[in-house]
């Protein structure tokens, strides 16, 4: 009975600790690289938008005092890696008075050291176990695929077999991870769940398994930020698909007036929700294809409503709208304040387009111009 009481109290303390304001000093040393800055960003934030810069001193050390309302997972990213568009985040939890880092060049990523905090210890234990189970197989498949590329046999039957084996191992890993999370509901495992949702690792997993995992985590951490984040993403997974229905939201226009999307949808035969970022080339390409044909499409019953996201300053919105001069209204999603990308399950993408009928049913996702014209003409 005493052991049960101890376990209960430990869980209670650990759960409430997650919702307690904190101050944590980040101290680190950078080894064998000349990087000047680190980017600090939360797991739930897009590093291309939300970021805090940490300067690296001339002696290759850094120090930063981090404060927050509740413990959650953060990422450190070298600014030079982010600038070239290829980066490897260094994840950690600020669950100690001081967390210490020893950071190496990208090719020596596995040598990085993080000291301090019980959750960081759990993170390292999890990764070691995961690597011991799956790394040998992944390395073997990767080496064999590299060999096939060298002799231009990447489309051979053997290559297809390797691809099938790789997919099978990845699914096995995802189920192994879900099992770990269900049996070890902690802030670390919750962060793994959120990351897997964001990067769509559960695409080939039964929805019931994902929902069961969410219910366990939600019960343990009902007031944590991750619970509302997971709810939004899972809602998008279940709802935002062809044959599903759109997720309603509000966003401000250029003058700051809130516009409710459902009001637009119910007043038009077809609505194309165009979520885009000024730095997203494919997003802009899709909208540009519609622009010269919009008058004809509009007469056939289509209204486009754009939302500019992936930005942190209102000036970025204004510059983008003025530059492209789309003949439809564009709202603004500044600093992810309305969680629009999260709700549509495109958290770390530049954007997507969703074609709806008047009932709000999703007819197509990212349709090209020909598909858009065909759908509108046929209905």
* pLDDT tens digits, 219-253: 999 999 999 999 999 988 889 999 999 999 999 99
- Whether residue 286 is predicted with pLDDT greater than 80 in this model: the reply is yes
Structure tokens at 26: 């980040």
Q: Which whole number is the average pLDDT over 32-58?
A: 92
Structure tokens at 305: 């409503």
Residues 176-199, buried b or exposed e (16+ Cβ, 10 A)?
Answer: ebbebbbeebbbbbbbbbbbbbbe
Q: What percent of the chain has pLDDT over 70?
A: 95
The model's pLDDT over 313-344, given as tens digits with 9 standing for 90+, comes to 999 999 999 999 999 999 999 988 999 999 99
The model's pLDDT over 83-105, given as tens digits with 9 standing for 90+, comes to 998 999 999 999 999 999 999 99
What local confidence, expressed as pLDDT, does residue 96 receive?
96
Contact between residue 276 and residue 284 where contact means Cβ atoms under 8 Å apart: yes
Give the rounded distance of the alpha carbon of 146 from its chain centre. Answer: 29
Q: Which whole number is the average pLDDT over 36-45?
A: 95
**In angstroms, what CA-CA distances link 301 with 70, 188, 260, 267?**
48, 48, 19, 10
- Whether residue 15 is predicted with pLDDT greater than 50 in this model: the reply is no
Give strand ranges (E) for 182-299: 250-252, 258-260, 270-276
What local confidence, expressed as pLDDT, does residue 8 receive?
37
What local confidence, expressed as pLDDT, does residue 43 receive?
94
Q: Which whole number is the average pLDDT over 46-50?
A: 83
| Least confident interval from 9-13, 50-54, 270-274 | 9-13
What local confidence, expressed as pLDDT, does residue 6 receive?
37
- Whether residue 292 is predicted with pLDDT greater than 80 in this model: the reply is yes
249 Cβ neighbours under 8 A, 6+ residues apart: 260, 261, 338, 339, 340, 343
Higher pLDDT, 112 or 163: 112
Answer positive or negative: Cα dihedral of 295, 296, 302, 307: negative
What local confidence, expressed as pLDDT, does residue 17 receive?
52
Q: Which whole number is the average pLDDT over 23-28?
A: 98
Class of domain 250-378: alpha beta
- Whether residue 1 is predicted with pLDDT greater than 60 in this model: the reply is no
Average pLDDT over the chain, rounded to an integer = 91
- Whether residue 50 is predicted with pLDDT greater than 90 in this model: the reply is no
Answer yes or no: CATH 2.60.40.1120 is held by domain 18-116.
yes
Instruction: Report domain extents, the chain.
Output: 18-116, 120-239, 250-378
Q: Which whole number is the average pLDDT over 26-52?
A: 93
Q: Taking Cα atoms as reference points, which of 268, 265, 330 lies closest to residue 298?
A: 268
What local confidence, expressed as pLDDT, does residue 374 receive?
95
> Binning pLDDT at 50, 70 and 90, where does residue 275 land?
very high
* Site of tokens 């289509």: 302
- Whether residue 3 is predicted with pLDDT greater than 60 in this model: the reply is no
């Amino acid at each position: 009975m005493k052991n049960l009481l101890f376990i209960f109290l430990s869980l209670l303390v650990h759960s409430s600790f997650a919702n307690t304001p904190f101050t944590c000093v980040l101290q680190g040393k950078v080894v064998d690289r000349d990087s000047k800055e680190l980017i600090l960003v939360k797991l739930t934030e897009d590093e291309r938008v939300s970021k805090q810069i940490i300067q690296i001193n001339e002696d290759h050390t850094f120090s930063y005092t981090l404060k927050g309302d509740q413990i959650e997972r953060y990422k450190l990213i070298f600014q030079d890696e982010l600038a070239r568009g290829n980066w490897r985040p260094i994840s950690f939890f600020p669950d100690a008075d001081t967390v210490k880092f020893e950071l190496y060049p990208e090719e020596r990523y596995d040598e990085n050291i993080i000291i301090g905090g019980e959750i960081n210890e759990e993170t390292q234990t999890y990764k070691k176990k995961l690597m011991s189970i799956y790394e040998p197989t992944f390395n073997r498949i990767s080496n064999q695929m590299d060999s096939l590329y060298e002799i231009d046999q990447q489309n051979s039957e053997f290559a297809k077999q390797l691809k099938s084996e790789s997919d099978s191992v990845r699914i096995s890993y995802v189920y192994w991870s879900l099992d770990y999370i269900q049996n070890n509901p902690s802030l670390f495992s919750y962060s793994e769940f959120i990351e897997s949702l964001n990067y769509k690792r559960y695409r080939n997993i039964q929805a019931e398994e994902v929902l069961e995992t969410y219910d366990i985590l939600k019960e343990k951490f009902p007031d944590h930020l991750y619970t509302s984040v997971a709810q939004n993403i899972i809602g998008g997974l279940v709802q935002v698909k062809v044959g599903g229905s759109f997720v309603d939201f509000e966003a401000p226009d250029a003058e700051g007036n809130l516009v409710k999307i459902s009001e637009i949808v119910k007043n038009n035969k077809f609505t194309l929700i165009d979520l885009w970022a000024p730095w997203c080339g494919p997003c802009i390409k899709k909208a540009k294809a519609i622009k010269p044909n919009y008058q004809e499409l509009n007469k056939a019953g289509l209204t486009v409503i754009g939302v500019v996201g992936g930005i942190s300053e209102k000036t970025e919105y204004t510059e983008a709208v003025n530059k492209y001069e789309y003949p439809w209204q564009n709202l603004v999603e500044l600093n992810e304040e309305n969680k629009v990308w999260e709700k549509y399950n495109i958290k770390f993408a530049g954007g997507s387009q969703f074609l709806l009928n008047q009932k709000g049913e999703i007819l197509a996702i990212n349709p090209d111009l020909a598909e858009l014209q065909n759908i509108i003409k046929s209905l």
